[in-house]
A and B are shown apart, each in its own frame.
Chain A
Amino acid sequence: MQRILALAFPHLALDLVRRRLTPGRTSPPSEPVLVLAEGVAGRSIVRAASPFARQLGIHPGMAVSEAQVLAGDEELRVEPYSEAERDTALASLARWATGTTPIVALDPPDGLLLELAGLERHHAGERELARSLEEQLRAFGLAVRSGVASTIGCARAVARFAPDSPCVVEPGHEQAALAPLPVECLRVDGDTGVALRELAVERVADLVHLPRSRLTSRFGADVLLRLDQALGRAWEVVRPEREVAAWEEGLELAGPVAVLEGVLHATQERLARLLARLEREGLGALALTVEWFPSDAEVRVTPLELRRPTCDGAHVWRLLREKLEDVCLGFGIERIRVHAGRVAPLARAQAVVAGAEVHEAVESPSKELADLLDRLAGRLGEEHVSVPRLLESHVPERAATRHPSADPRAAATRVTAAPRPTCLFVHPERVEVRTAEDGARPVALRWHGHRFEVASPCGPERIARPWWSGEGREDGRRDYWRIATRCGRSLWIFSTHDGKWFVHGEWI
């Protein structure tokens, strides 16, 4: 038995703009003539008009120039109309509404549907619930109407068209509630609505009395479907925007709690319960989200990413606590929700049995490394922790790179067999080299003012620069020499095609 609460925001785009223009979130005492306009095919068309503007006869669909005329001496304020802004606002309202019930669906363009069945505050409290929601939304500066019924069609119809709000329709009384409402409330499209009006079918009551077969043949199956959905003869469910997560633990607090320690304590307890549930199933969490619902503001969401599936409460709490301590509580938190977004099977370490005792499971080194990386990333930020990896490349400075530590890309499988220095300089340093008579073999070099005599040069190893990255011409190649100096250092130097010498690395 479903009970749907439909919220309708008749002037959502306008209210958003008005909130932006006037500081403070209360409805302004006297507003200018405000319209929202959109450019269509070179003309500006009014998309929404404030109540005062509507009084002057300005309504959506007319050109702005026409509205100017109707405004007369009043100052006409034109703001751009943004569908994207409206959709974003609707989505965040939906998120806010999940504080009341997890099953929230968008009813575009300007409504929400909430599934109330199963809530503790139930039947007799429906009207109260609707009224309190309306109050909170009005406090946000939004005009809102609501309706409660057993079907989606009926609930949204009464939310928009019933004379007073909130309007609660008892189960079984849908037809009576819908009868006096205009036929547009049944979600039929514009053409069908016009066609119905032409036949003097103006109210739902008129529609209900028409023979059903005639309806289908005359207007298509859609009208009948919508009517049946509204009256409860056809089934329609609320499809929630966010899935009801299996792995979550929630807690309703008796009243808003503004003490940080208290909220943290409650969150930790919920986290422990969730991880215990996961552990029983042999799963570990890879992504966790902690949501705190303040009574008067937007939801505080704190995400956490982990590198290995884990159900180690202490480790996770250490990481989470650092982030949660910074969250602003506002007037108080009413509801806590801990949710595991990604889970994966736990990698179990085998317990070691030796003698008569059972030792603790041996911690694999990778677990400790992963824990360390988690902590470092949590403290320093994900982008500041990286891991060197080998790449396949002939060019020595490209044979290794730094990857973000969470990147699971595998390392190169092949490494060049040629000997490479243990220390490769990030930037090759210029040196002066004296060569033997053949012009290639280095005999002595001067580096940082010091003079080195070359004892045994080995080479040249020619490594061509990659031509595809734009930096190498055909003669963009380096001839590398492994040299041992008389004083005992082993250097890796190269010469370019134009005779310049550099030192690129050293065997330490």
Chain B
Amino acid sequence: MPDSPPGKLAPHPVRAPAPRAARLAASEAYAELAVTSNFSFLRGASHPEESVRRAAELGHAAAAIADRNSLAGVVRAHLAARETGLPLAVGARLAFTPFDAEATPPPELLVFATDRAGYGRLCRLLTDGKRRAEKGDCILHAGDLADRTAGLLAVVLPPGLADPGGAATRPTAGFVERARDVAQLFEPGAVSLGAALLAGADDERLLRELRQVGEDLALPLCALNDVHYHVAERRPLQDVLTCVRAGRAIDEAGLELFPNAERHLRSPAEMARLFRGVPDAVRRAVEVAERASAFSLDDLVYRYPAEVGDELASAIATLRELTWRGADERYPRGLSPKVRSLVERELALVDELGYAPFFLTVYDIVRFSRERRILCQGRGAAANSAICYCLGVTSVDPDRSNLLFERFVS
């Protein structure tokens, strides 16, 4: 058996909560909201962490992730955002299926969560959509949003973003109607109208028309770049993915491919220049990103059901007490230095990892079983814990065997 490992030198990367990232001032001009990562299968060509790091390099105010009908990439984005210190807007890009072969399907939406409850609603929405469909697919209807939009921000995407062949598609009356219906499902002030200027056939006219639509619907414009890859050099890969998705060879894919390599993360200066006619759109993008970054995945701690105390702190205190009491029972002649140090080290680790409620639950179960004379035995990796021995969960004496607590923890 190897020697007992030294004490932990660094906090556990996942379990130990990290400090909340500092907010950058609003003078940092831009945050990209429409970020598609490779977790939008066969559409995005960059990893979430690549996009987040690139956004940090460019000096964006915040990063975002919004995959198509999926939240699969948020964890990686979250880790990268924490590493770079950038706030992250967590969301999804909802693509709806019309009920029947209507002329205009509902517009795609970017939906971001602003709090834990909103995130839960978004998850529930996606779950319902995926349950209805074949594996890998998601069927969402605009009506699913009804009553489920509290705590969510939305950006209505302009038509034709997803259809490169019709990249010059301009908003039609049908689009305006559908956008109005969808916007009414959200809280006031939560919806914006997205605008992306991707060097299409007539960007000036497109922008003019979107401004008009925004005024008609009383929605502020929000600047986007429909990012599918973090740098323009990734475009060939994105083209290949499109070919795989469409089932065509690269020289036959034709209008399935995007016509240019503009769908990358742009610097704030570039975005300011592109939207110089509508600077409010850029500011709105930053505002939405900041509101959305109020929610972080770190908020999703495991809320242990109320145990012997409501807070984590009292759980560990209870565990300590129970452990030392049990140790006295197990070692009537007193603990050897070895066992004492082992128990202390384990308790420190349990405290750091927040596992105290778990041990308490196990202790409860064992106690309940023993009272009723139900045979109960701690097995397997649990036998590596001195705490468990003291609590009476296992019967492997740390004094006599070398225990490796890390084995239990892993």
Interface residues of A (CB under 8 A from B): 391-394, 412, 414-419, 458-464, 466-469, 474, 477, 479
Contact = CB atoms under 8 A, between A and B. Distances in A.
A468 B250 contact: yes
Nearest to B198: A462
Given A394-B164, A461-B199, 20 more contacts: A391-B254, A392-B253, A392-B254, A393-B255, A394-B255, A394-B260, A414-B255, A417-B201, A418-B167, A419-B202, A458-B202, A461-B202, A463-B260, A464-B259, A464-B260, A466-B251, A469-B251, A474-B233, A474-B261, A477-B260
Contacts of B164: 394
B165 interface: yes
A462 B203 CA distance: 11
B201 A418 contact: yes
Contacts of B171: none
Contacts of B232: 474
B167 to A, nearest CB: 7
Interface string B254-267: 11110111100000
B257 A477 contact: no
A135 to B, nearest CB: 60
Interface string B365-409: 000000000000000000000000000000000000000000000
B201 A462 contact: no
B199 to A, nearest CB: 3
Instruction: List 10 A-B pairs, minimum CB-CB distance, nearest first.
Output: A392-B254, A462-B199, A418-B201, A394-B259, A462-B260, A464-B260, A417-B166, A468-B250, A392-B255, A418-B168
B166 A467 contact: no
B258 to A, nearest CB: 8
A419 B201 CA distance: 7
22 contacts: A392-B165, A392-B256, A394-B254, A414-B254, A416-B259, A417-B168, A417-B169, A418-B168, A419-B202, A458-B204, A459-B202, A461-B200, A461-B201, A462-B259, A464-B235, A464-B259, A464-B260, A464-B261, A466-B251, A467-B236, A468-B239, A477-B261
B201 A414 contact: no
Contacts of A414: 165, 254-255
Interface in B132-187: 164-169
Given A414-B254, A417-B165, A461-B199, A467 B262 contact: no
B163 to A, nearest CB: 9
Contact of B259 (A391, A419, A463, A467): A463
A477 B262 CA distance: 11
Contacts of B202: 418-419, 458-459, 461
B231 to A, nearest CB: 9
Contacts of B169: 417
Contacts of A477: 260-261
B46 to A, nearest CB: 15
Contacts of A458: 202, 204
Contacts of B167: 417-418
B235 A467 contact: yes
A468 B236 contact: yes
Contact of B235 (A394, A412, A474): A474
Contacts of B257: 394
A412 B168 contact: no
A457 to B, nearest CB: 10
A458 B199 CA distance: 11
B255 A416 contact: yes
Given A393-B255, A414-B165, A462-B260, A467 B239 contact: yes
Contacts of A461: 199-202
Contacts of B235: 464, 467, 474
A462 B262 contact: yes
Contacts of B254: 391-394, 412, 414
Nearest to B232: A474
Interface string B77-113: 0000000000000000000000000000000000000
Contacts of B233: 474
Contacts of B261: 464, 474, 477
Contacts of B239: 467-468
Nearest to A462: B199
Interface string B186-221: 000000000000011110100000000000000000
Contacts of B166: 416-417
A469 B261 CA distance: 16
A463 to B, nearest CB: 5
B17 to A, nearest CB: 42
Nearest to A394: B259
Contacts of B236: 467-468
A394 B253 CA distance: 10
A394 B168 CA distance: 12
A112 B200 CA distance: 70
A461 B168 CA distance: 10
Most chain A Cβ neighbours within 10 Å, of B236, B250, B260: B260
Contacts of A466: 251
A412 B253 CA distance: 11
A392 B165 CA distance: 9
Given A463-B259, A463-B260, A474-B232, A418 B251 contact: no
Interface in B218-276: 232-233, 235-236, 239, 250-257, 259-262
A460 B165 CA distance: 17
B165 to A, nearest CB: 5
Contacts of B250: 468
Nearest to A391: B254
A172 to B, nearest CB: 66
Nearest to B240: A468
A260 B251 CA distance: 52
A466 B256 CA distance: 13
A468 B201 CA distance: 23
Contacts of A464: 235, 259-261
A391 B256 CA distance: 12
Contacts of A394: 164, 254-255, 257, 259-260
Given A392-B254, A394-B255, A474-B233, A479 B199 contact: yes
Contacts of A393: 254-255
A19 to B, nearest CB: 50
A462 B199 CA distance: 5
A461 B259 CA distance: 10
